[in-house]
Amino acid sequence: MMHRKIAGIPFNRLLIFGSIIVAFVLVAVLVNGFFTPLNLSNMIWQVAPIGIMACGVSFVMITGGIDISAPAVMAVSAVIGCSYMAQTGNLVFGTVLIIAIAGAFGLVNGFATAHLGMVPLVVTLSMMTICQGIATSIAGGESILGLSPAFSIFFDKTRVIIIFVILAFLLDVLLRRTVFGRRLYYIGTNKNTSLVSGIPTKSTIMLAYVTSGLCAGVAGVFNTAALSTARAAMGPETQILDVISAAVIGGVSIRGGKGTILGATLGAILIIVVNNVMNLQGVSDYYTNMVKGSIIIIAMAFNAISHRFAEV
């Protein structure tokens, strides 16, 4: 299968680069208050949690699966970890706890999908509901109080952005430069062939879901630091639209076997730009979701068309 390239760079990656540049130029000219240092820094800050979840979900999507529980996993792990930190003051272990709990939920998703043969959409939809229920029962619909200001001071804008960039780079290396990453692509391209080839398909798929869960936990740390608290509502059902949109726009195929971390990150940037512009213009969330839903359909249509051309 051949993929169209220009100057050695995949065409779809150039397309999203161009889309982001065009979007920035247009909104900078047409939208008041967009191209200001404060707004741009806040926007980059907002990319981190969506971007890291999109990176994690990309691992799952490349295998041909789906994980729609990431925002809910992020919320429940943040609520539990924040409650612990508020009660004990142990910020280090609390941070580790947030990430570990999210990874455990990812492990359950992976085990149910890979070893029990359950449908990924049903498993992660059920997990989303379970996590929302746990988070609401713990927080009672309110924000967790008593978190030390030192947590938000340490995970400030600069550190969050740096951590996100480093993690995205490491995830990219893991996906493209390791045996584990290559196995994910093999499984997503043809699961039956990977089984015959002796690839440990079940354990590899399970680790992909664990990776998605761990990334959701990191997003929970980022959001808890940004809000100086945690609550069940920090992982709304609509947020999965942003995460999946970022991955799909970035070229991650819902059919599996295709996608990059760079693409998912660029997709997250584009989604945050859309959210930011809509907020600055005072557009209702209903219309914003309509726009983002349309973007997903367009991106999927483009991927389908490019896939057909690649097979010619």
pLDDT tens for each residue of 129-149: 999 999 999 988 789 989 999
Give the pLDDT confidence score for residue 16 in this predicted structure: 67
**pLDDT confidence of residue 303:** 66
With tokens 């080839």, the residue in question is: 197
Please determine, for residue 174, whether its predicted confidence score (pLDDT) is greater than 80: yes
Look at 61 and 280; give whichever has higher pLDDT: 61
Q: Which structure tokens are listed for 209? A: 């879901």
- What does 113-153 look like in DSSP terms, one character per residue? IIIS---HHHHHHHHHHHHHHHHHHHHTTSPPP---HHHHH
Which residue has better confidence, 255 or 160? Answer: 160
pLDDT over 50 (residue 1): no
Would the pLDDT of 9 be above 60? no
pLDDT (tens digit, 9 = 90+) per residue, 247-305?
988 888 888 888 889 889 988 988 888 888 887 777 777 777 787 777 777 777 776 66
Check pLDDT > 80 for residue 127: yes
**If you average pLDDT over residues 6-33, what whole number do you get?**
67
Q: For 33-42, 64-73, 110-119, which range has the lowest pLDDT when averaged over its residues? A: 33-42
Q: Which residue has the tokens 């161009």?
A: 18
**Closest among 199, 174, 173, 203 to 187, alpha carbons compared:** 199
Is the pLDDT score of 63 beyond 50? yes
Between 218 and 26, name the one with better pLDDT.
218
Per residue in 71-90, pLDDT (tens digit) is 999 999 999 999 999 999 99
What is the per-residue pLDDT for 305? 67
Q: Mean pLDDT score of the chain, rounded to an integer?
A: 86
Predicted confidence band at 15 (pLDDT cuts at 50, 70, 90)? low
Token pair in block for residue 132: 């929302």
Q: Which amino acid, 115? A: H
190, 208, 232, 255: which is closest to 72 by C-alpha?
232
pLDDT top residue among 1 and 193:
193
Q: How confident is residue 7, by pLDDT bands cut at 50, 70 and 90?
A: very low
> Where are the extended beta strands (E) located within the chain?
5-6, 9-10
Which of 35, 13, 152, 133 has the alpha carbon at shortest distance from 95? 152
State the average pLDDT over residues 40-67: 92
Q: What tokens appear for 211 in the block?
A: 């990776």
HSE (CB half, 13 Å, CA atoms) of 28?
10
Q: What is the pLDDT of residue 2?
A: 40
pTM summary value: 0.89
Q: What is the average per-residue pLDDT within 60-70?
A: 95
